[in-house]
Structure 1
Amino acid sequence: MAQEAADAKINDLSTELKLLRKGLGIQAKTLPGVVGERLREVCGVHEEDNPGTVRGKVVDTLRRLIERLPESQRETARIVLGFGTGANERYTQRLELLGSGADRNVRTMQRRADDVIYLIAEAAYGAPPPFEGASIISQDGPWHTSALAVRLNLTGAAAEVFETRKVVSHVAGLAEIEHAISLARPASTTGQPDLSGLGIDVVAGGEVHSVRMVSSTRVAFSLRPPRPLDAGDQHEFFFRIRLDELPAPFYCCTPEFSCERFDLNIRFDRREPPLRVWRIDGDFSKDAEDPLPARKPLFLDNAGEVHTGFHDLRPARSYGVGWQPAS
């Protein structure tokens, strides 16, 4: 009986998700109004939640459930539900994206779409609800990061950072996202910081302003989206930071608010490759640069690069890569 009840819940949620994927999927303006009873239960949606909150909970929950799927199914799930697709691509158009090579039979694509919907529903009842007490994604802050991708290029002591950050607003009218980086040495001993060796450029998604020192070695700045974000809105920034010198032989994300996913790719200087490289996974910030703790080793590929990723980052903990320089 218990198994029958569980199967019934999964089937009910599958049916609701099939309705949700129609049209523009998660990008539809009508999304908050078509969220069914099972999906509201899984996402922790309450009667008093406004449409923006409903959208935010549904989008964040589905994104997290997709990450629980086998890697081979994740991209299909994203396309089916409308993640990362064109703003006006309807379900039938997205379905065509599932075809590969000569395999473009409509029935085959529809079957793949149905299979992945069932897997999402199955995952939903195999894990605690993301928005209940056990969740590490806190709604306390004004926003959280849903995805962070960093490419770090090292040339001698100099570094160039390319960062793509997707944030989800928890409040109405979010107009600024605070950000900060650490420098190699104090930027000022007189109280008048010299930031000439620091370049911060937004390539897409908004503008940088209010660059300021918050300590002798830490620079803060604000990212301003093109328009204020409502609760549940997601926005992506892409910016570049140029440093004359890294603060230490490691690169970490130490989030102030929760972060769902962090992907880091480092390209080392081929002339001076590091002696060894390791993964930093949830360390206290003061321990991040300590080379003594036992950590998972990482290895450079033929291009002199190393790549690693993290999920469900906790605030005030550090995640990234450390290395022992050649000299």
Structure 2
Amino acid sequence: MDQVAAGTKIDELSAELKALRKGLGIQAPNLPLHVGALLRQVCGIQDDDSPGTVRDKVAETVRSLIKRLPESQREVARLVFGFGTPAGQRYTDRLTQLGTGADRNVRTMQRRADDVVYLIAETAYAAPGRLTHAGRKDPWHTSALAVRLTLGGTGAEVFETRRIISHVDGLEEIEHSVSLARPLQPGQPLPTLEGLGIDVVAGGEVHSERMVSSTRVAFRLRPPHPLDTGDQHEFFFRIRVDEFPSPFYCCTPEYPCESFDLNVRFDRRRLPARLWRIDGEFSKDAEDPLAPRKPLWPDTVGEVHTSFHDLEPARSYGLGWQPAG
């Protein structure tokens, strides 16, 4: 689960970073012309900065963001953006070099390059004072989130209770979204609205359901009346998923979240072979089953419970598991 505005901002910044990596990447003579609006904000670029200053700020910022990536991703990121590569080496040549070194084809390396660019965008979003909070005030935050996930067959049912506190007067709608990971097997169809049911059980109504990316569905929650500053309100809604291929469930908040309580009920006939806690990771890393994490075990009825406090925006919190067999 995540908030649509956070995902949209990260997607937009990721697109700007992809434009930056083209051609000669960070070494391009016309680099200052390819710096998008969000990237300018992240780099602290002013309207009166000279082209040389723009170049220096972009290079310094991207280099510092790369340093914050997991060690296994840093060399890929440096090569993707052209740090330390021979003069005149274009993006496709750098991908070929990366593929040769890792014994993978260029198409596979393109996917790795896209993943590392997204990680950098997430890192920038999570950086205090850069993209998350610059120039705006959070309209609300979550004081308590409780999720009950029941897995059965190929589908799942999610019951979510969310209590929010308004930071503004006249808050009429809460933007929300659900992220569904890509299918595990090649050739399986992507998620669609038809395979997702969203119903408010109490606290308002749902409207404006729409696909905002190939794997994310956005919708709006409308309380019975507008909320003023300091007002609290609780929504209780249900989400039904016909296909639940992804072996993990996470909350990735856009705005601060004080507490998140998660209970997952597995089919006792199909308990996972392994189960672990995901605590404050980048969303791309949440799917990685190899990262070292704290193990958990279901109880006698097939349930596992965990909780989190003071969740950071743009980081993922939840559970992952390895299906039996």
TM-score by length of structure 1 reads: 0.55
| Equivalent residue runs for 1:176-191 within 5 Å | 176-185=173-182
| Equivalent residue runs for 1:204-243 within 5 Å | 204-243=202-241
Aligned counterparts of 1:212 and 1:247: Cα–Cα separation in 2: 21
Match of 2:254 among 249, 253, 256: 256
Distance change >3 Å, CA 140–CA 147, structure 1 → 2: same
Q: Secondary structure at the match of 2:151?
A: strand
Deviation, structure 1 residue 320:
0.2
TM-score by length of structure 2 reads: 0.55
- State the Cα deviation string for residues 201-260 of structure 1 (Å, max 9, x = none): 000000000001100111000000000000110100000000012251000000011000
Deviation, structure 1 residue 183:
2.7
Query: 2:304 matched to which residue of 1?
Result: 306
Aligned counterparts of 2:247 and 2:229: Cα–Cα separation in 1: 38
Deviation, structure 1 residue 147:
0.2
Query: 1:151 matched to which residue of 2?
Result: 148
Aligned counterparts of 2:278 and 2:271: Cα–Cα separation in 1: 19
Distance change >3 Å, CA 292–CA 162, structure 1 → 2: same
Match of 2:278 among 256, 272, 280: 280
Distance change >3 Å, CA 270–CA 257, structure 1 → 2: same
Which fold has the larger relative contact order, with Cα–Cα distance below 8 Å and residues 6 or more apart in sequence? 2
Aligned counterparts of 1:317 and 1:184: Cα–Cα separation in 2: 16
User: Is there any run of 5+ residues in structure 1 with no aligned partner, and where?
Assistant: 1-132, 187-192
Aligned counterparts of 1:228 and 1:140: Cα–Cα separation in 2: 18
- State the Cα deviation string for residues 283-319 of structure 1 (Å, max 9, x = none): 0111001111111111110110000000000000000
Deviation, structure 1 residue 140:
2.7
Q: Secondary structure at the match of 1:196?
A: helix
Aligned counterparts of 1:184 and 1:199: Cα–Cα separation in 2: 17
Aligned counterparts of 1:282 and 1:257: Cα–Cα separation in 2: 14
Aligned counterparts of 1:240 and 1:271: Cα–Cα separation in 2: 24
Aligned counterparts of 2:273 and 2:165: Cα–Cα separation in 1: 39
- Which 4+ residue blocks in structure 1 deviate beyond 6 angstroms? none
Query: 2:267 matched to which residue of 1?
Result: 269
Aligned counterparts of 2:192 and 2:246: Cα–Cα separation in 1: 20
Aligned counterparts of 1:307 and 1:322: Cα–Cα separation in 2: 12
- State the Cα deviation string for residues 135-157 of structure 1 (Å, max 9, x = none): xxx89311000000000000022
Q: Secondary structure at the match of 2:249?
A: strand
Q: Secondary structure at the match of 2:268?
A: coil
Q: Which amino acid aligns with 2:177?
A: A
Deviation, structure 1 residue 162:
0.2
Aligned counterparts of 2:245 and 2:155: Cα–Cα separation in 1: 10
Q: Secondary structure at the match of 2:284?
A: helix
Aligned counterparts of 1:313 and 1:273: Cα–Cα separation in 2: 28
Aligned counterparts of 2:245 and 2:258: Cα–Cα separation in 1: 25
Deviation, structure 1 residue 197:
1.5
C-alpha contact 1:182 1:247 (8 A) present in aligned 2: no
Matched, 1:165 2:140: no
Q: Secondary structure at the match of 2:258?
A: strand
Deviation, structure 1 residue 184:
4.8
Deviation, structure 1 residue 196:
1.9
**Number of corresponding residues:** 187
Q: Which amino acid aligns with 1:176?
A: E
Aligned counterparts of 2:178 and 2:193: Cα–Cα separation in 1: 12
Query: 1:199 matched to which residue of 2?
Result: 197
Aligned counterparts of 2:282 and 2:215: Cα–Cα separation in 1: 19
Query: 1:22 matched to which residue of 2?
Result: none
Distance change >3 Å, CA 185–CA 288, structure 1 → 2: closer
C-alpha contact 1:183 1:245 (8 A) present in aligned 2: no
C-alpha contact 2:252 2:315 (8 A) present in aligned 1: yes
Q: Which has the higher helix share?
A: 2
Q: Which amino acid aligns with 2:176?
A: H
- State the Cα deviation string for residues 252-292 of structure 1 (Å, max 9, x = none): 00001100000000000112110010000000111001111
Aligned counterparts of 1:279 and 1:178: Cα–Cα separation in 2: 27
User: Is there any run of 5+ residues in structure 2 with no aligned partner, and where?
Assistant: 1-127, 184-190
Q: Secondary structure at the match of 2:269?
A: coil
Aligned-residue CA RMSD (Å) = 2.1
